[in-house]
Structure 1
């Protein structure tokens, strides 16, 4: 079965392919097209791997449908939407351009309300795990009242219904950040920053960067606390050309860490104090 180490390697490969596609194509449409093909292939391989596995534990099944498949499918939905938006955009600048992107944000918000199950949305955002067996193992859905009709089109051997719902939540977060940087230039990098040398990159873990982002957000040191965590995340993602995925869920996992929950911040403090002591 897909273990945690394999899952992390898979996401790292996807991130590397994103950077490679960006360098090769040089435009969002080209990058989206490349990533759609790549992610479709990965999704098919995951399905084949799962269906050919004779024995799978409940823990492994939950891991697959809560962490593995939604990250891949969520990115696939995201890049498909990026391709649609970029290829139908009537102009490349000006008022009409901003109006078009604003309409896409409004559409995104309306669509988000349409497919979101409020109870599940709160469950996921809060980082709870007590109903994971109900949401992320197959054959558990008993109440069909009010569920999205896409459930009846899904492959029951490769879906729990809620993994698809989670994929759309992940795609929604990515799309919101993407549209925000397109419509509000103040949340994108200054001109020329996209030409930073390759060595200018975040070399720590994604969790470390998310920990730093939340620390900056909750202390209110950016724009007097008037900027939301998603907008701050958008800037850091553009700055370091990296995708942080669903930062809310990553943050809630940090809250359940064994030992220190602010590992990276403590490392920053110790490193800085050590550097200061060298000059004494």
Structure 2
């Protein structure tokens, strides 16, 4: 639930939930569905709080509709699109798989060109300007004379300025673009810079794939990379490109580790022991 002290608790709760679900889910379909349910409930809680307590100051209202609500709604739109894309995917690999996700990427680009990039508001938002925030991000300021999309007639004017939805779409499309780029970038064909670089040709992974996956999840769970704001899939892609190896379904492998008998963090414990031994040699 959202506390009355600050709406920013909502944004923190999203990050924590993403980390929790990513560690538990074995497939992106389950992960996205669970995030949809969570974000729907979160948005409803925030809406209830706004309708019951209103905004005390103008700056608070602008911050909510420019930053906080779009982060929640943007993630909700994103995970819903991912769920729809994944559940409609005809195959799990091969040329048809690549063609399917390439088509989705092209559709996203067309949508971006038609509805987002040529708008004055997009340029305003992208430039970081704030001089017209009082027009775009305050309730009761919707101006029909500007020829807004017909979606405006379905907007709840007590909980939307219309432009907060525009920002939400921008956020969702950026997330979806990154997701689709990773989908159509085969991990068994490493980045050409790494592949052809003389300085990295002798860099390769000599431990087991499970050891790499264990390390990836440890780095993710600790928030050691990008302050924890990067997902398992992107971290694993970086490792696969760097070490020229294909990990397959990292989620399934991780869940097998969770259930394995004995030491579940075998590689991490081995790393700790090796480092301590190396330190002792230098004494």
Instruction: Tell me how far 1:238 sits from its aligned partner.
Output: 1.9
SS, match of residue 10 in structure 1: helix
Number of the residue aligned with 1:178: 179
Write the mapping of 1:1-280 to structure 2, written as runs, cut at 5 A: 6-116=6-116, 118-185=119-186, 194-196=213-215, 198-201=217-220, 203=223, 238-239=234-235
Q: 1:155 to 1:113 in 2, by over 3 A?
A: same
Which segments of 5 or more consecutive residues in structure 1 lack a partner in the other structure? 211-233, 242-280
Q: Which structure has the larger Rg?
A: 2
Instruction: Tell me how far 1:188 sits from its aligned partner.
Output: 9.2
SS, match of residue 32 in structure 1: helix
Instruction: Tell me how far 1:89 sits from its aligned partner.
Output: 0.3
Which segments of 5 or more consecutive residues in structure 2 lack a partner in the other structure? 192-204, 238-283
Q: TM-score, structure 1 length as denominator? A: 0.68
For the residues of structure 2 that align with 1:25 and 1:235, how far apart are their CA atoms? 13
For the residues of structure 2 that align with 1:237 and 1:90, how far apart are their CA atoms? 21
For the residues of structure 2 that align with 1:131 and 1:51, how far apart are their CA atoms? 24
Instruction: Tell me how far 1:45 sits from its aligned partner.
Output: 0.6
> RMSD over aligned Cα, in angstroms?
3.2
- 1:134-157: CA deviations, max 9, x gaps? 110011122344311111101000
Q: Work out whether residues 3 and 60 of structure 1, in 8 Å CA contact, stay in contact via their aligned partners in 2.
A: no
User: Number of residue pairs matched?
Assistant: 216
For the residues of structure 2 that align with 1:198 and 1:205, how far apart are their CA atoms? 11
Q: Work out whether residues 32 and 79 of structure 1, in 8 Å CA contact, stay in contact via their aligned partners in 2.
A: yes
Choose 66-75 or 8-17, whichever is displaced more: 8-17
For the residues of structure 1 that align with 2:67 and 2:48, how far apart are their CA atoms? 17
Q: Work out whether residues 115 and 165 of structure 1, in 8 Å CA contact, stay in contact via their aligned partners in 2.
A: no
